[in-house]
Amino acid sequence: MGGAREPIGVIGTGYVGLVTAAGFAELGHEVWCVDVDEEKVARLRRGEVPIYEPGLEELLVKHRGHLHFSTDLADALAHARLLFVAVGTPPTYSGDADLSAVHAVVDAIPDADDRSLVMKSTVPCGTGASIQRVLKEQGRTRLSYVSCPEFLKEGSAVKDFLEPDRVVVGDNGDWAGDAVVALYEPLGAPLVRTDIQSAEMVKLASNAFLATKISFINEIANVCEQTGADVVEVARGMGLDDRIGPKFLQAGIGFGGSCFPKDVDALKQLAGNSGYHFQLLTAVIEVNELQKRRVMSKLVKHLGGLVGRRVALLGLAFKPNTDDMREASSLVLSARLAADGARVSAYDPIAEEEARKLMPGLEFADSALAAVEGADAVVLVTEWPEFRDLDWAGVAEQMSGWLVIDGRNALDADAVRAAGLVYEGIGRA
Ligand code: UDX
């Protein structure tokens, strides 16, 4: 073994696991994937892809002969010395990360000199140390441990794997760290090789910082509304400063997804558990919660009461190019609208199946034009590219009202107004 074509094991075939597996297959590795979900494994074996992620299906098809799926950990153990752990770490009621799936994997891996856990799952800082402590107590001292956090964005995860901004490897300076570094070498990305705690913290701090950037620009947007400035112009002016940068400065109706809300909470909780009150993150979370409700006051301002009013939501996923509904702003918004007596219709190009499970009271339409039929107001919730090119005259004809709220500042305001509609964005006078 060793060298660029080292076989690898991937435990957990969610977003992170599947993309990691497909990415390593693309780099020429034989990949042994394991998941406890029998149905999922059966689907993957048949060549079905359980999630929507651009480019993923192509890679899974292309490397079908080199990707092996099983519910039996023994298959991966028989072939690979590096076992990437990519199982879920959802939040618990206390705000801590639930590490039971991680611990189950650790417990199941037999001790061996030439074997290492490679942690991809996002875990609290200190998890690697505590896992190693437990292993030692159990006398399992031969197993190595590496932290290798992932920074994949849904919707561009395959590209992010193959063209990462950086690769972070935290380890004890043994063979396993060297082997993981070697795996990523062909990608030519800057490498941060460090200790395990620091690697874990890089991941949490990066996500918390990006979330802070979003809540910051959302607060600037809210002040812009009071002062007559346009947050899109303000963000453009700020972003040209190299020290600030233009990314993650798009104001809107809040961040969602599987990572930011969870990781910000987890870092705040981690700090709290160790006796430090992370004030900034408390505000980041609160600003985001309020921002998800911000559309409500805009609707009321224009329409008065919402009882019996029809509101159409364009887009439901937490961001474009994914069917992921986790922590999506649409969930908060649709629940608030229903509570205030509005009738809500919605259209999302991909996320409908997921959304149906979570939003029972919603009327689902099969196109944007069908969703806006009879609507008093239209709210852009997710900036799918197809909504930018909507025929606004056609929309105006379908609607019974005239209000368009652009929750992502993604539409061409002039085009909307030219159709005789009233346009209102976030943070734009
Ligand atoms: C994020 C991190 O970017 C990634 O590095 C990490 O590994 C996983 O979490 P992801 O959740 O897929 O990725 O989505 P991302 O593109 O980062 O967007 C997160 C949320 O922030 C979305 O709801 C998006 O709409 C929102 N957002 C993003 C804004 O509101 N404004 C912005 O300027 C950028």
Catalytic residue among 33, 125, 148, 259: 259
Q: Which atom in ligand 1 lies closest to the alpha carbon of residue 254?
A: 30
CA of 393 to the centre of ligand 1 (A): 32
Q: What is the pLDDT of residue 162?
A: 97
pLDDT per residue as tens digits for the range 250-287? 999 999 998 899 899 989 999 999 999 999 999 999 99
CA of 214 to the centre of ligand 1 (A): 9
CA of 261 to the centre of ligand 1 (A): 10
Q: CB of 11 within 8 A of CB of 34?
A: yes
Q: How far is CA 423 from its chain centroid?
A: 29
Q: What percent of the chain has pLDDT over 70?
A: 99
* pLDDT average, residue stretch 319-326: 92
Closest residue to atom 13 of ligand 1, CA basis: 153
Q: What is the pLDDT of residue 91?
A: 83
* pLDDT average, residue stretch 206-228: 98
Q: Which residue has the higher pLDDT, 91 or 209?
A: 209
Q: Which atom in ligand 1 lies closest to the alpha carbon of residue 258?
A: 11
Query: Does 294 score more than 60 pLDDT?
Result: yes
| Average predicted confidence (pLDDT) for the chain | 95
pLDDT per residue as tens digits for the range 59-70? 999 999 999 999
Q: What is the pLDDT of residue 398?
A: 98
Closest residue to atom 9 of ligand 1, CA basis: 259
Q: CB of 200 within 8 A of CB of 250?
A: no
Q: What is the pLDDT of residue 18?
A: 97
The region of weakest confidence among 79-83, 124-128, 412-416 is 124-128
* pLDDT bucket at 340, cuts 50 / 70 / 90: very high
* pLDDT average, residue stretch 364-375: 98
pLDDT per residue as tens digits for the range 133-191? 999 999 999 999 999 999 999 889 999 999 999 999 999 999 999 999 999 999 999 99
CA of 84 to the centre of ligand 1 (A): 24
Closest residue to atom 25 of ligand 1, CA basis: 319
**Structure tokens, 305:** 């009461």
Name, in order, each residue with C-beta under 8 angstroms of 46's C-beta and a sequence gap of 6 or more.
none
* pLDDT average, residue stretch 357-385: 96
Closest residue to atom 24 of ligand 1, CA basis: 255
* pLDDT bucket at 2, cuts 50 / 70 / 90: very low
* pLDDT average, residue stretch 389-397: 97
Q: Is 310 helix (H, G, I), strand (E, B) or coil?
A: strand
Query: Does 83 score more than 90 pLDDT?
Result: yes
Query: Does 1 score more than 60 pLDDT?
Result: no
Q: Which residues line ligand 1 (CB under 6 A)?
A: 150-154, 207, 210, 214, 248-250, 252, 255-257, 259-260, 318-319
Please count the other Cβ atoms lying within 10 Å of the Cβ belonging to residue 165. Answer: 9
**Structure tokens, 152:** 């994949």
Q: Which atom in ligand 1 lies closest to the alpha carbon of residue 154?
A: 12
Closest CA to 169 of 208, 142, 130, 202: 202
* pLDDT bucket at 96, cuts 50 / 70 / 90: confident
Count of alpha carbons within 13 Å of 37, Cβ hemisphere only? 14
* pLDDT average, residue stretch 376-403: 97
Nearest-10 Cα torsion for 84, 90, 96, 99: -40
Please provide residue 63's backbone torsions phi and psi, each rounded to the nearest 5 degrees.
Answer: -110, 25
Mutate to test the pocket of ligand 1, among 56, 218, 259 (most ligand atoms within 8 A of CB): 259
Closest residue to atom 2 of ligand 1, CA basis: 153
Q: What is the pLDDT of residue 95?
A: 75
Q: Which atom in ligand 1 lies closest to the alpha carbon of residue 252?
A: 30
Query: Does 33 score more than 80 pLDDT?
Result: yes
CA of 254 to the centre of ligand 1 (A): 10
Closest residue to atom 33 of ligand 1, CA basis: 248
Residue 33 among the catalytic residues: no
Mutate to test the pocket of ligand 1, among 318, 319, 406 (most ligand atoms within 8 A of CB): 319
* pLDDT average, residue stretch 224-253: 98
CA of 373 to the centre of ligand 1 (A): 31
Helix (H) or strand (E) holding 396: helix 392-398
